[in-house]
């Protein structure tokens, strides 16, 4: 129920109040920390953008992420409820699936042991609060024991993304050793 003409969107006082109320109600930032990995964000929601949508109002985009599917569904439900209470239309795209960290998994142990043998260094095992392909695989192959590792990459998902070439061959050798162990007796 916007009013006005031109490039901008001019909202009525009531619509502007509803928009501001919704922005105030939306979760933004860390929603929950992990109980499995100290210091790791388990669930978050970020207010990504607010942009005019013609004379009718605004489009609010949020990005939600969680290691746990149930927690992700809960924060998305919270966002949808807040939007409906403020009179907004809710459109949610399919969520990127989570992948819960399991530092005690068999595959994590195999990779850790192989890294120790190959490099004689103690590997750093950690989880990150990011969307990984393992979430998609885990949704398709329930119960699959997975680990994500690779060469050193800098500036990921930017025009400056690059790989540290010297880390590619050791990573490949490690991957081959782990696959041999998994395929062996």
User: When comparing pLDDT for 21 and 9, which is higher?
Assistant: 21
The stretch 5-12 carries a mean pLDDT of 64
- How far apart are alpha carbons 107 and 104 in whole angstroms? 9
pTM to 2 decimals?
A: 0.76
Residue 131's CB is within 10 A of a number of other CB atoms, namely 15
Q: For residue 125, is pLDDT > 50?
A: yes
Summarize the confidence of residues 22-50 as an average pLDDT.
94
Structure-derived torsion over alpha carbons of residues 13, 16, 17, 23, reported in degrees to the nearest 10:
-170
Mean pLDDT, the chain, integer: 89
Give the CA angle between residues 72, 75, 80 to the nearest 5°: 120
Residue 8 backbone class (left: φ over 0; alpha: ψ -120 to 50; beta: rest): beta
In the DSSP assignment, the letter for residue 167 is G
Q: What is the pLDDT of residue 68?
A: 92
166 Cβ partners below 8 Å, 6+ apart?
none
Calpha distance 38→41 (Å, rounded): 9
Half-sphere exposure of 185 (CA within 13 A, CB side): 0
Q: pLDDT grade, residue 66 (50/70/90)?
A: very high
Asked if the model's pLDDT at residue 6 lies above 70, the reply is no
pLDDT of amino acid 132: 79
Separation of first and last alpha carbons in the chain: 68
């Amino acid at each position: 129920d916007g009013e006005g003409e031109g490039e901008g969107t001019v909202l009525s006082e009531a619509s502007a109040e509803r928009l501001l109320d919704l922005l105030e109600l939306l979760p933004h930032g860390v929603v929950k920390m992990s109980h499995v990995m100290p210091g790791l964000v388990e669930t978050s929601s970020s207010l990504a953008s607010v942009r005019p949508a013609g004379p009718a109002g605004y489009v609010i985009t949020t990005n939600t992420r969680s290691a746990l599917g149930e927690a992700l569904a809960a924060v998305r439900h919270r966002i949808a409820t807040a939007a409906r209470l403020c009179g907004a239309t809710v459109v949610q795209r399919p969520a990127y699936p989570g992948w819960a960290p399991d530092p005690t998994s068999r595959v994590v142990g195999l990779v850790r042991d192989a890294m120790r043998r190959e490099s004689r260094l103690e590997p750093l095992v950690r989880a990150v609060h990011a969307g990984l392909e393992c979430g998609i695989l885990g949704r398709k192959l329930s119960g699959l024991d997975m680990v994500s590792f690779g060469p050193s990459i800098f500036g990921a998902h930017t025009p400056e993304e690059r790989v540290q070439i010297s880390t590619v061959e050791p990573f490949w050798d490690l991957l081959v050793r782990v696959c041999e162990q998994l395929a062996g007796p």
